[in-house]
């Protein structure tokens, strides 16, 4: 893209300030900026004016959940089905590690955070240890795909190399990068993070399969015969990955996906709850939970929206190929965005100063015809590290690890 073309594109979206420092830049800087302008989708920025009305909800109704007692009755059978699929190479795992982890307040990738007390226990290490349990049980390696972003790719890859993949077989680990989206002020004007660079933020957890397709990883998955992908968040240090019983239950139910859920610890807990929305599986986010929904009962007289998702989903690959062509809802989230001030100096704000634009993996569930909500024991499988202290923090995760006999 040349200067005139870039100018036209920016003018169309009211973003001409991006070229403010163009004349000061050397050739390399100019080239980099023009390329970024070419690749950036500025159309999302206008949506921040419609933020409140962007994603209207359909009719919310309760969904049936496979609960612990039912799972226990068929545990052996489901585990056998799941192990067979794993041994046949049909199951892969996708670690979503492209997020910024801003709440944790470390500039490093979240997975390199050390939760150990008397020894090193890195978050990535905890996840690999959990996956190794299944590798040992199935006596086969499970392909692991790690999604990073422009902001943390090199640091993530070098950490895995330095730690020798924590004993995992490196031939089975593939890194791929997600896409970025521009970050803007509250009026939808993009910030600049350098004179030759527009501020960007990873485009959310929902773009993972599209990013896999763009970089050719999805094609490799298809060729390798992987039929199911277990997608999970980096920050749950008790995360069970490629859990054979969960895999078996989802396959047995003939569903296009499975979603691990836990009993919420309060009706207003900040987790999304599984539901039906206009007759299709969906997740109602905590900020959409009205008092009526919190009090609603299902036909058994139990709380209707009692099971929260923990960002651990099993997707059938053939359905993913169909749904990526559809646009997922866009979420506009307040964020602290580093920016150049009037004097051209970089400022790292302490308070949110604008928006990031994201698609979320949970919205993929609504695109599918069926999804099995599968209950797991909260204290055994859900210890998210979002903050340093308090709820969902390093502290609370440590307590849960210790309760599960994990030495820290």
Chain residues that interact with ligand UTP, rule: CB under 6 A:
96-103, 110, 147, 178, 202-205, 233-235, 311, 358, 386
Cα(206)–Cα(19) distance, integer angstroms: 31
Contacts 24+ apart (CB under 8 A), 51-56: 51/332, 54/329, 54/330, 54/332, 55/329, 55/330, 55/331
Q: Is the Cβ of residue 95 or residue 275 nearer to ligand UTP in the bound state? A: 95
Q: Is the Cβ of residue 386 or residue 398 nearer to ligand UTP in the bound state? A: 386
Among the listed residues 375, 384, 351, the one whose alpha carbon sits nearest the alpha carbon of residue 99:
384
Q: Is the Cβ of residue 84 or residue 102 nearer to ligand UTP in the bound state? A: 102
Closest distance of CB 84 from ligand UTP, Å: 29
Cα(141)–Cα(166) distance, integer angstroms: 14
Cα(405)–Cα(408) distance, integer angstroms: 9
Closest distance of CB 155 from ligand UTP, Å: 13
Among the listed residues 58, 59, 64, the one whose alpha carbon sits nearest the alpha carbon of residue 299:
64
Closest distance of CB 244 from ligand UTP, Å: 22
Location of structure tokens 């599986």: 281
DSSP state at residue 270:
S
Q: Is the Cβ of residue 10 or residue 257 nearer to ligand UTP in the bound state? A: 257
Longest Cα separation, the chain: 70
Q: Is the Cβ of residue 19 or residue 385 nearer to ligand UTP in the bound state? A: 385
Q: Is the Cβ of residue 250 or residue 359 nearer to ligand UTP in the bound state? A: 359
Cα(357)–Cα(70) distance, integer angstroms: 40
Closest distance of CB 111 from ligand UTP, Å: 8
Q: Is the Cβ of residue 316 or residue 356 nearer to ligand UTP in the bound state? A: 356
Structure tokens at 398: 């440590």
End-to-end CA distance of the chain: 52
Cα three-residue angle 289-292-298, rounded to 5 degrees: 95
> Is 190 within 8 Å of 18 (Cβ atoms)?
yes
Q: What is the CA radius of gyration of the chain?
A: 22
Closest distance of CB 328 from ligand UTP, Å: 13
Q: Is the Cβ of residue 276 or residue 311 nearer to ligand UTP in the bound state? A: 311
Q: Is the Cβ of residue 97 or residue 397 nearer to ligand UTP in the bound state? A: 97
DSSP state at residue 340:
E
CA count, 13 A, side-chain hemisphere, 215: 17
> Is 131 within 8 Å of 86 (Cβ atoms)?
no
Q: Is the Cβ of residue 135 or residue 233 nearer to ligand UTP in the bound state? A: 233
> Is 226 within 8 Å of 61 (Cβ atoms)?
no
Cα(147)–Cα(181) distance, integer angstroms: 16
In the bound state, the residue with its beta carbon closest to ligand UTP is 99
Closest distance of CB 159 from ligand UTP, Å: 14
Closest distance of CB 274 from ligand UTP, Å: 17
Q: Is the Cβ of residue 233 or residue 365 nearer to ligand UTP in the bound state? A: 233
Closest distance of CB 298 from ligand UTP, Å: 28
DSSP H or E stretch at residue 29: helix 27-39
Closest distance of CB 364 from ligand UTP, Å: 13
Bridge partner residues of 104 (DSSP):
none
Closest distance of CB 27 from ligand UTP, Å: 32
Closest distance of CB 265 from ligand UTP, Å: 18
């Amino acid at each position: 893209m040349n200067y005139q073309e870039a100018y036209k594109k920016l003018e169309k979206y009211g973003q001409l300030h991006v070229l403010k420092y163009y004349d000061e830049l050397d050739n390399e800087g100019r080239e980099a900026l023009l390329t970024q302008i070419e690749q950036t989708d500025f159309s999302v920025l206008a949506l921040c004016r419609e933020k409140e009305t962007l994603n209207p909800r359909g009719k919310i109704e309760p969904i049936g959940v496979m609960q612990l007692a039912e799972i226990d009755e068929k545990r052996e059978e489901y585990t056998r089905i799941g192990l067979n699929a794993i041994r046949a190479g049909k199951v892969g795992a996708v670690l979503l590690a492209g997020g910024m982890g801003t709440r944790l307040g470390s500039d490093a990738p979240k997975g390199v955070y050390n939760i150990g007390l008397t020894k090193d226990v890195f978050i990535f290490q905890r996840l690999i240890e959990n996956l190794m349990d299944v590798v040992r049980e199935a006596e086969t390696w499970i392909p692991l795909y790690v999604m990073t972003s422009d902001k943390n790719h090199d640091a993530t890859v070098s950490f895995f190399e330095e730690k020798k993949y924590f004993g995992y077989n490196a031939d089975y680990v593939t890194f791929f990068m997600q896409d970025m989206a521009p970050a803007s002020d509250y009026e939808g004007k993009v910030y600049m993070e350098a004179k030759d660079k527009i501020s960007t933020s990873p485009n959310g957890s929902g773009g993972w399969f599209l990013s896999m397709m763009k970089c050719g990883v999805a094609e490799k998955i298809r060729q390798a015969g992987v039929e199911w992908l277990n997608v999970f968040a980096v920050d749950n240090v008790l995360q069970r990955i490629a859990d054979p019983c969960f895999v078996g239950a989802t396959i047995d139910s003939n569903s296009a996906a499975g979603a691990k859920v836990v009993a919420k610890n309060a009706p207003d807990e900040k987790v999304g709850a599984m539901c039906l929305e206009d007759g299709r599986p969906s997740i109602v986010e905590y900020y959409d939970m009205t008092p009526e929904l919190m009090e609603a009962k299902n036909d058994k007289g139990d709380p209707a929206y009692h099971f929260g998702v923990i960002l651990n989903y099993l997707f059938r690959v053939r359905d993913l190929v169909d749904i990526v062509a559809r646009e997922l809802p866009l979420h506009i989230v307040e964020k602290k965005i580093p920016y150049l001030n009037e004097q051209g100096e970089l400022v790292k704000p302490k308070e949110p100063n604008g928006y990031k634009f994201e698609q979320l993996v949970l919205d993929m569930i609504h695109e599918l015809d069926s999804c099995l909500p599968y209950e797991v024991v909260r204290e055994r499988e859900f210890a998210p590290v979002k903050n340093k202290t308090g709820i969902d923090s390093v502290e609370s995760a440590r307590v849960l690890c210790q309760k599960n006999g994990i030495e820290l």
